[in-house]
Amino acid sequence: EADIYQTPRYLVIGTGKKITLECSQTMGHDKMYWYQQDPGMELHLIHYSYGVNSTEKGDLSSESTVSRIRTEHFPLTLESARPSHTSQYLCASSATGRSTDTQYFGPGTRLTVL
């Protein structure tokens, strides 16, 4: 198992609430990623970061925001949750370099917005 952690693992919350999904890794990886996984399985990249103070939008537009103040920490925030945000969110990290570019994933957060 990779040393990448996500909390909470499961979250059920009402519409309009602000939520933050936590992701931390202890591997010293410079790059981190957030993916959204549909009920139909497909993964979509929603945010990524090259390093501290670097964040980029991914391939799928998302109303969430991210920050990267510390190398090991890459939280994702939804200011006002909606039922359309119900999904599984997966965090991953990787290190720069040809032999270390494998992305390692956390266990995921399953979010349900009522």
* Residue ranges in contact with other proteins by CB under 8 A: 1-2, 4, 6, 31, 40-43, 45, 48, 50, 56, 58-59, 90, 92, 94, 96, 98-99, 101-108, 110
Q: How far apart are the first and last CA of the chain?
A: 32
Shortest Cβ distance from residue 16 to other proteins (Å)?
A: 27
Rg (CA), the chain: 13
| Closest CB 67 distance from other proteins, rounded Å | 17
List residues bridging with 92 in a β-sheet: 33, 105
Which tokens belong to 47? 């945010």
Amino acid at 87: S
Residue 11 or 104: the one with the smaller Cβ distance to other proteins is 104
- Whether 66 contacts 77, CB under 8 Å: yes
For other proteins, which is the closer residue by CB, 16 or 51? 51
CB of 28 to other proteins, least distance (A): 15
